[in-house]
Amino acid sequence: MEMTKISAGKLRAIGFDTKTRTLRVELDDGSALEYPGVSEDLWRRFKSSGSQLHARITLN
C-alpha cells in the first residue's frame, strides 16, 4: 500500500489498498489504524480534505 505523508495533528500518513478497500492511517507514535470496506469515492474525498483529516479521524 502506498502511503502519503501528511501533516495534520498527530497524523503522519494515509494510504488506501484498492484490492481490500482498506484505509490505513499512521500516527506520530508509530501506531496505525485500519478501516476495511472503504469505497474509493470516500478515499478520494478523505484524501483531498486536507487539514480536516485530523478532525475526521479523532471524531470517529
Instruction: Return the number of other C-beta atoms located less than 10 Å from residue 25's C-beta.
Output: 22
Question: Where exactly are the structural domains of the chain?
Answer: 3-59
* pTM confidence score: 0.77
Q: Is the dihedral of CA 39, 15, 36, 31 positive or negative?
A: negative
Spell out the per-residue pLDDT of the chain, length 60, in tens: 999 998 878 889 999 999 999 999 999 999 999 999 999 998 988 888 765 555 555 544
- Indicate the DSSP class of residue 39: -
DSSP-derived pairing of the beta strands 32-35 and 3-8: unpaired
Please state the φ and ψ torsions of residue 37, each to the nearest 5 degrees. Answer: 75, 25
